[in-house]
Structure 1
């Protein structure tokens, strides 16, 4: 049996406690591209984090540029 990503074992929870810092954690390839582009365009400090258990995940990603809306997460 595999193990899921655990929030208590990550560094991004430390960054999330710092005022003014936005933290993005992708859950699928589509969000990874959109939120990474949004993080690059954001004028504020954004920490983009990936859990190593998700690095081999495959999924559909459009070729054109698009951005996710940081702060409007999909759950």
Structure 2
């Protein structure tokens, strides 16, 4: 999976890191909690518009980042 390094960066540094497709650092993410420490999220590149959806992930209060997805992402 191309986005694994980004997921580690999000959990450790709260930054999405470089895009695995185009190499740009203009990336962003959101993590939402569904119930008691479990949630989902998305990480994406604002330059090439490639996203990755995370269907199940452990989230803590410090991980949660509610952000609107850009409409032009290419899933």
* TM interval, short-chain normalised: under 0.3
Could you tell me the TM-score, scaled by structure 1's length?
0.27
Structure exhibiting the larger radius of gyration computed from Cα positions: 1
Could you tell me the TM-score, scaled by structure 2's length?
0.27
- Which structure shows the bigger proportion of residues in helix conformation? 1
Between the two structures, name the one with larger relative contact order (CA 8 Å, sep ≥ 6).
Answer: 1
